[in-house]
Structure 1
Amino acid sequence: MKKQARSYLLMTLPALVLFFVFHTYPVLQGIFYSFTNWRGYGEWIYRLRNYIHVFADDRALSAYLFTFKFAIVSTILVNIFSLLIALGLNANVKFKKTLRAIYFMPNILSILIVGFIFNFIFAQFIPQIAQELGIISLTKNILGNPELAWVGIVIVAVWQAVAFNTILYLAGLQTIPLEIYEASSLDGANRWRQFWSITFPMIAAFFTINMVLAMKNFLMVFDQIMAMTGGGPGRATESIALLIYRGGFEGGQFAYQSANAVIYFLVIVAISIFQIRILSKREVEI
């Protein structure tokens, strides 16, 4: 047993070292510098005002509001579409496995490449088609409209994220015994009644997982915005992740944005815990 335990230690130790060097240590370093005035270079002194300044920063508050709006809308849409697709793919349809592979393809594509492609679609393809069809409202690039640019980002983010959530819902649907549906049919339950009383309660654990993961991922949105709008027009689509990146690495605000990152980390953790505690109450054991 000692030899076996030593073998396990030798196998896991390199992974632990790499995780500490490239994850834990940078996190601790960022927390440390958040209590200083370091700009990413040169000398520094201790300063505790960074955390106070974040709450008084209009740019940061605007980024928080945009990020929350984007994350809430995207999370709701992703779970609606992915659940509908999963229910459809779980039914007795032809080419079921092929359709599952096709629906999962967006998830394996690079986010930046997808963003650049949709940037062209919104800027060139859709306006040209709309002009030919006489649809005036779509003849302009919505990514250039401060009020509608976020909608384009939501469309791309949801389109790409639906695939992963669909796979999780499909896994949940596979755990429901068919005998329950057969018994409910004998009792006269229609499909809507079966979904609301059987399907949804029994996949509640998967619904919780999808809601938490989707919200967490959308709160950290960065690549889609960088590829499609760069935070514009103006700062209309500037997310917290983009603000931290630009302020820390381009604006000489390394310590200040480190404090912003620590606050945002705590916000994401709090939201995730809140979601789990609320949604887990609906879960049932199969």
Structure 2
Amino acid sequence: MTTTTRPPRTTGPAPQQVRKKGIASRTPRAFYWMVLPAFALFFLLHTVPVLQGVFYSFTDSPGYGPWNFVGLSNYKALFTDSRVLHAYLFTFQFAIVATILVNIIALGVAMALNSRIKFKTTLRGVYFIPYVLSILVIGYVFQYLFTFSIPAIAQAVGNAKFSTSILSDEGLAWVAIVILAVWQSAAFNIVLYLAGLQTVPAELYEAGSLDGAGSWKKFTNITFPMIWGFFVINMVLSLKGFLQVFDHVVAMTNGGPGTATESVGLVIYKGGFQGGEFGYQLANAVVFMIVIIVFALVQFRVLQREDVTA
């Protein structure tokens, strides 16, 4: 009787496992090669110019020709420049008011579109038209509206206060810019709020109705807590976008009357590209970039904390 001896059992991985492991080890490298062109373009076209701008902010460069290294002189001068300080004050005032208004209006419109109303699909297309139009184009339309149309209507009805354009009033010109900005940007916020409202289960509203909750109770106890994440995103994006206001001001007032409606972006543009203050305004741009980043991070952290505590 002959006996056959079995080969000793190996403890290593099976061939299939080796092949799978090999595939898994090659996949991340393939991803890196796919991302590399985009990373290279981003680095060359974005990161390098930013680093160059930070470097030239320590110089007295007019944007061309020779320049000298001046250290922190540009940054020190910013805090004593009344025009720059006024531009920051106007920008913050405009951004805070516009952010609050656009979110209130967008949430109200989104709730109306999400309810059972007629022509809901048509209205969803109509309200989004302003967002796809050029800000400069609609800005000049609004400029004509506030300069000629509204004063003519006010004179016809005997209203002396608005018989002249508010764009020439230092105290009211910023209101016209806020109206334009809110009207134009509300569509994007509405889309986000609509997406959030569609995630709220209908069963919660039915349970609230059975408990005798009214519309306001349903909104404060069901709707708003459920869409808090969308509210956080809208607030952060809105504030960041409005802090960078530029086209609206150029189209409506170009910073006037005087310097009453000059935003930080407009001051940087005028001084850096038209006033020979290239290095000085680059320092202003660096400070403004830091301010926007800090505001966005603080706002995001505070709103996230509110979400956790709620």
Find the residue that maps to 2:128 and give its secondary structure. helix
Map of 1:14 onto structure 2: 37
Would you say 1:27 and 2:50 are equivalent positions? yes
Q: Distance in 2 between matches of 1:231 and 1:219?
A: 15
Find the residue that maps to 1:74 and give its secondary structure. helix
1:180-224: per-residue Cα shift (whole Å, max 9, x none)?
111111111111001001111111111111111110111000001
Find the residue that maps to 1:138 and give its secondary structure. coil
What are the residue-to-residue correspondences of 1:208-223 with 2, within 5 Å?
208-223=232-247
Q: Which moved more, 1:276-285 or 1:153-162?
A: 276-285
Gaps of 5+ in 1: none
Find the residue that maps to 1:208 and give its secondary structure. helix
Map of 2:185 onto structure 1: 161
For residue 284 of structure 1, report the CA deviation from its aligned partner: 6.3
Retained in 2: the 8 A contact 1:201–1:282? no
1:60-99: per-residue Cα shift (whole Å, max 9, x none)?
1010000011011100100110010011011011221111
What are the residue-to-residue correspondences of 1:229-244 with 2, within 5 Å?
229-244=253-268
| CA RMSD across the alignment | 1.5
Find the residue that maps to 1:137 and give its secondary structure. coil
Taking only the aligned residue pairs, the percentage that are identical comes to 56
Please, what TM-score do these two structures have when normalized by structure 2?
0.88
Find the residue that maps to 2:111 and give its secondary structure. helix
Gaps of 5+ in 2: 1-22
Please, what TM-score do these two structures have when normalized by structure 1?
0.96
Q: Distance in 1 between matches of 2:248 and 2:126?
A: 22
Q: Distance in 2 between matches of 1:185 and 1:162?
A: 31
Map of 1:42 onto structure 2: 65
1:98-145: per-residue Cα shift (whole Å, max 9, x none)?
111111111000000010110111111111122222222211111111
Q: Which amino acid aligns with 2:152?
A: Q
Retained in 2: the 8 A contact 1:201–1:284? no
Q: Distance in 1 between matches of 2:220 and 2:35?
A: 45
Map of 2:288 onto structure 1: 264
Q: Distance in 2 between matches of 1:3 and 1:260?
A: 46
Q: Distance in 1 between matches of 2:207 and 2:195?
A: 22
Aligned with 2:158 (options 127, 134, 143): 134
Q: Distance in 1 between matches of 2:143 and 2:208?
A: 48
Q: Which amino acid aligns with 2:44?
A: V
For residue 10 of structure 1, report the CA deviation from its aligned partner: 4.4
Map of 1:80 onto structure 2: 104
Q: Which amino acid aligns with 1:24?
A: T
1:201-259: per-residue Cα shift (whole Å, max 9, x none)?
11111111111111011100000101110100000000000001111111111111111
Q: Distance in 1 between matches of 2:136 and 2:44?
A: 27
Retained in 2: the 8 A contact 1:212–1:276? yes
Could you list the runs of 4 or more consecutive aligned residues of structure 1 that deviate by over 3 angstroms after TM superposition?
1-11
What are the residue-to-residue correspondences of 1:53-64 with 2, within 5 Å?
53-64=77-88
Would you say 1:99 and 2:99 are equivalent positions? no
Map of 2:200 onto structure 1: 176
Q: Higher Cα Rg: structure 1 or 2?
A: 2
Find the residue that maps to 1:152 and give its secondary structure. helix
